[in-house]
A and B are shown apart, each in its own frame.
Chain A
Amino acid sequence: MKIMEFLSSKAIIMDIKSSKKEDVMRELVDALINSSDIDKRSRNKIVDSLIARESLGSTAIGQGVAIPHTKCDCVQNLVAAFGLSKKGIDFDSLDGEPVNIFFLLIAPQDSAGPHLKALARISRLLKDKYFRDGLQECENEDAVIRIISQEDDKKI
């Protein structure tokens, strides 16, 4: 599974404006609304379920990375937004460090497989420090897409 198969190239935020956890998720969801990946009528429902998921344990898995995720019957396929934060955001991360890199995933309601594969795929790439550093050095959306596509082509 390639990241660019589910990451919407129009849902990339170069510097997240929000500073609170919930607002950051709202901002990422809005990116998916702007990119027409999800309908704005589903906004509150999705944000609420993302918040509910976070209350079970933070998706900020350490090393400056968070993968907030949820399921929604409003999508047919897995969709994802990407966001960077230069200043870093307090996301109750497992290692206590602020988060700079966000992948927000929304999977169809009835699926377990694609969701898990996407998490595996994203984790594999983000485990690489050079990849994480590379993402943070990107200056525009095109650079983000280029660096992710390069990795997509490298490993399966």
Chain B
Amino acid sequence: MALVKKKLVVKNKQGLHARPAALFVQVANKFESQITVRRDNEKVNGKSILGILMLGAESGSIIIIEADGNDAQLAVEELEKLINSEE
């Protein structure tokens, strides 16, 4: 078991709007690890699209992805790619 944390800046110009949020959740759900995303004082389940949308993370905002479980490292790496994408 491992706990992996990563602080990231949202690159998507529109922020984490519906489409990237859906993609994020889709990728997060491929992993066994528990995934949470934090922004400021808000902490949400990274496998729930309502959760991700709730963050209202605009372009340039800082989020922290946290994965807890056997595949935590890989999960964070994959999700990081998404957050770093400008599309």
Contact = CB atoms under 8 A, between A and B. Distances in A.
Interface of A: 56-57, 59, 61-63, 65, 67, 69, 94, 112-113, 115-117, 119-124, 126-127
A12 to B, nearest CB: 21
Given A116-B17, A119-B17, A127-B54, 7 more contacts: A62-B49, A94-B22, A112-B15, A116-B56, A119-B18, A122-B53, A127-B50
Main DSSP-derived SS at the B contact region: helix
The bracket for how many chain B residues form the interface is: 20 to 34
Contacts of B15: 112, 116
B22 A115 contact: no
Interface of B: 13-19, 22-23, 25, 48-51, 53-56, 58-59
Given A67-B18, A94-B22, A117 B50 contact: no
23 contacts: A57-B23, A59-B18, A62-B49, A62-B50, A65-B50, A69-B18, A94-B22, A94-B49, A112-B13, A112-B17, A112-B59, A116-B14, A116-B15, A116-B56, A116-B58, A119-B53, A119-B56, A120-B53, A120-B55, A122-B53, A123-B49, A123-B51, A127-B51
